[in-house]
Amino acid sequence: MRQEEVIERFRHTGAWLEGHFLLSSGLHSTNYLQCALLLQHPREAEAFGQAIARAFQVERIETVAAPALGGIIIGYEVARALGARFIWTEREEGRMCLRRGFALRPGESILVVEDVVTTGGSTRETIDVLRQAGGRVVAAAAIVDRSGGRADVGVPRHALAKLEVPVYAPGNCPACARGELLIKPGSRTSKGEGSLE
């Protein structure tokens, strides 16, 4: 799947948003990729999962892991395309961890999959948890890399699209300077309307 097709599918499904957004990293952006709007369509999720899996056909991937919540659908589809097991990490009291009885065999080969990477923070946390549990993380993948390839997660990475989408620290954000309403995607509240969840 070419980068142009990835972007077109985001636009076609209404998953490419424009405005003033608070990212999970704490940074601000005027564009947001709402993967849930894309992945709500099973055929899209399957197509993106197969496209990512094609990049790892020569690797022996035993397990695909993803950070909850954003990576779960695409991670599952990649695992299905690879014929691998699928697990996820999630936060408990602010700390990423394995729960729900998930366990790893020593040296189990793992691919970590995310929907969108901005700083790589969730991917790095997931990799750390999997390594502490005895896994061997061989690579990471995402539908979109918003960092333009700059995010370092400590293992080789693959993304279907690499975008240079400007992000800003809250004190340097031009949309904040213009007084534009800050929106936390996936939330009905915004900085101007109430507290962020």
pLDDT at site 197: 24
- Determine the Cα angle at 149 with ends 132 and 139, to 5°: 35
Start-to-end CA span in the chain (Å): 35
Cα separation, 42 vs 19, in Å, equals 27
pLDDT-based confidence at residue 186 (cuts at 50, 70, 90): low
Residue appearing with tokens 């659908």: 73
124 pLDDT higher than 60: yes
β-partners of residue 159 are: 142
Class of domain 3-177: alpha beta
Whether 2 shows a pLDDT value over 70: the answer reads yes
pLDDT for the residue 26: 86
How much is the pTM?
0.85
